[in-house]
A and B are shown apart, each in its own frame.
Chain A
Amino acid sequence: MDLTHWLHTPHVEIDFRENYGTKLLVGPPGGKPRFKLEPKYLCNPHGEDQVVQFRLKYPGGCMLHNWSELLLTPLGTQPVPPLPNKLPPWGPDKEPEYAAGLDSLIAALYRNDTPLERLEAYLPLFIDHSPESRRQPTVDRVRMVYLKNAVAAPNPNLVLIVFSYYSGYQIRQNGAGSGPPGDG
């Protein structure tokens, strides 16, 4: 998998949030959630340092505590398909366009067996669901893909984050967010 875009533009700022995304992608008051991906290297058998994962970092308050040091692993074998149409530059009134334009890709990323190239991690959290769930951590599967030339804007790239809440052995809830990557 080609990771150069993640390395060149590791800063991500979230604009659009839907469903569970409105609860999990939370920024500082009045500000947007944002984070940076820091590569983790491993020396391969040829003696070369190679990026194998990314750590998620952010200034205090720019994401919820449980995102701290989240370790994302590159997975998948198929390139992410381009969107059928470019999205308009982000604005709050464009939320329906983003929801509709990203719908199929979000659906593909919800599937357990998705082959799409992505960064993936497991986010621990306590959910306000039942007395047990307030004490016993659950996990959300977080998937992140990089969309090149997806937006008709000066920065045409977009990062889409999709997560699913595990309940028992099924995934029962959806959430997504997206925003532009940058070199910070």
Chain B
Amino acid sequence: MASGRALCIGVEAESDALTFAEIARQKGFDSPLLLLGENATRAAVRGRIDELAAVSAPGDIALITFSGHGGRIRLRDRAVSREPVGLWQLYDGSLNDEQLKSDLGRFRAGVRVLVVSDNCSGGIPSLQATQLSESLSASVLVITSCRNEQYADGAGLPGHFAAVLERTWSGGAFAGAYSQFHAALCGAMPDYQKPDYYRVGPPNDAFETQRPFTI
């Protein structure tokens, strides 16, 4: 029987992380692990992802959510002419697209990984094709609160993603697959902030056609 494990990260957006953790709890994920504020350091986040990867067996699902600042950064080992990559701003520094892809690379084939990236400037892991994304064994579905170069609204504003996602999911009553969930999210979000949805890593049709957050 498949197991579901969740890691919900929040830096200066802790209430949104709690919203995602509550969704995970309602869906039967094992005690969602919260990393909030000063506990959401780079080492802690990468360590917990590593642990998730180690205990997840083929057929299991791992949910990773991030709520907080987002941005883009040029990497040290890349030519300046290359495009910057996305990042999550953790408590003590940033976790960039390539570092997250490297961490996700530890999940075994057959594991389903769902990442909800609730931050400005698009999500990570990105669709950007790199050696790291091609070496992923697990199928990773990514839902973002906005696209690259867009801002993500804060609480109380029309594009407040966590609130829209919670309403759309409707306590588990949403009956469609991930692509339909994405379409519904887009319909509920303002024109200036549209969520994105894509897959990184190998395809897993069964995963993509499941209802969101299914274990």
> A129 to B192, Cβ gap below 8 A?
yes
Of the candidates B71, B92, B120, B154, the one whose C-beta lies within 8 Å of that of A166 is: B154
A139 at the B interface (CB under 8 A): no
Tell me the smallest distance from the CB of B75 to a CB of chain A, in Å. 6
Q: Is the CB of B91 within 8 A of A107?
A: yes
Which of B92, B93, B121, B160 contacts A168 (CB under 8 A)?
A: B160
Asked if residues B154 and A168 are in contact (CB atoms below 8 Å), the reply is: yes
- Once the chains bind, are B156 and A172 in contact (CB under 8 Å)? no
Note all chain B residues with C-beta closer than 8 A to A130: 158, 190-192
Q: Does B153 contact A (CB under 8 A)?
A: yes
Decide yes or no whether B2 CB sits under 8 A from chain A: no
Contacts A129-B192, A173-B120; A104 near B93 (Cβ below 8 A): yes
Question: Which B residues from 60 to 84 make CB contacts under 8 A with A?
Answer: 69-78, 80, 84
A103 touches which one: B69, B77, B93 (CB < 8 A)? B93
Residues of chain B within 8 A (CB-CB) of A106 are 93
Contact residues, A99-113 vs B (CB, 8 A): 99-100, 103-104, 106-108, 110-112
Interface segment among A7-15, A90-98, A144-152: the answer is A90-98
Asked whether any CB of chain A lies closer than 8 Å to the CB of B90, the reply is yes
B153 / chain A contacts, CB cutoff of 8 Å: 167-168, 172
Known contacts A110-B89, A171-B69; A100 and B155 CB within 8 A of each other: no
Residue A170 lies at the interface, judged by CB distance under 8 Å to chain B: yes
Contacts A168-B157, A170-B13, A170-B154 given; does A18 touch B94 at CB 8 Å: no
**Among the listed A96, A97, A112, A173, which residue makes an inter-chain contact with B121, where contact means beta carbons less than 8 Å apart?**
A173
Given contacts A110-B12, A167-B151, contact A174 B156 (CB under 8 A): no
CB of A18 within 8 A of CB of B80, answer: no
* A103 to B190 CA separation, bound complex (whole angstroms): 32
Q: Within 8 Å CB of A92, what residues of B?
A: 80
**Chain B interface SS verdict (over half):** loop
B152 CB-CB contact with A under 8 Å: yes
Q: Identify which of A93, A104, A172 contacts B92 (C-beta below 8 A).
A: A104
Check A127 for interface membership: any CB of B closer than 8 A: yes
Contact B154 A174 (CB under 8 A): no
Given contacts A93-B80, A167-B153, A173-B120, contact A107 B93 (CB under 8 A): yes
Check if B151 sits within 8 Å of A129, measured CB to CB.
Answer: yes
A100 to B121, CA, bound (A): 19
Of B12, B70, B77, B191, chain A has the most CB atoms within 10 Å of the CB of B12
Partner of A169, one of B94, B119, B156, B158: B156
Which residue in B73, B77, B151 is a CB contact (below 8 Å) of A18?
Answer: B73
Whether A178 is near chain B, meaning CB under 8 Å from some CB there, is: no
Interface residue A164 (Cβ < 8 Å from any Cβ of B): yes
Q: Do B90 and A107 touch across chains, with their CB atoms under 8 A apart?
A: yes
In the docked arrangement, what's the CA distance between A169 and B155, Å?
6
Q: Answer yes or no: A19 CB below 8 A from chain B CBs.
A: yes
Using a CB–CB cutoff of 8 Å, the interface residues on chain A facing chain B are 18-20, 92-93, 95-97, 99-100, 103-104, 106-108, 110-112, 127, 129-130, 164-175
- Chain B residues proximal to chain A, CB less than 8 Å: 12-13, 69-78, 80, 84, 89-94, 119-121, 151-158, 160, 190-192
New contact pairs (5) apart from A172-B119, A173-B121, CB-CB < 8 Å: A93-B80, A107-B92, A111-B91, A164-B69, A174-B89
